[in-house]
Chain A
Amino acid sequence: MDALIEKLKGQIIEQLNLAEVKPEEINPDSPLFGEGLGLDSIDALELIVLLEKHYGIKIQDPKDGKTIFQSLRTMAEYIKAQGKS
């Protein structure tokens, strides 16, 4: 799980162009939206594309996004649960 979280950190920084953020600064349990990384709705779309592109996971119901993208850890857990890690 830790290795997947580290991998996700790098992918998120690259996809969202978070040039100012270092991987070690991202707390895996902090919220991705609002507080924490302070992402917004456009970033949510970028994260959906990231999951599809890198892990072959398509989110069918947009309502699921709220739970999946709660934090880096919930994202990693979802990827693992889909057997795509």
Chain B
Amino acid sequence: MARKGDVVIDIEKCKGCEVCLSACPNDVLALSNEVNSKGYHYAVKVNSECIGCANCAIVCPDAVITVYREKK
């Protein structure tokens, strides 16, 4: 089984551009219904399928995603 991962999103800096959504292989991310203080719908985790591949973080224009992956 693939190693499990997790992401932490800095929701105040997220601008809701959705570029990370299509980069995720397991559809872990979606946009929130709520908005942050700037009025953007931010990226949120919607399932626990994250494998810590960091695809979302490497395409994030605003560097809001931190990625963790468990060791073998």
A in complex with B: no
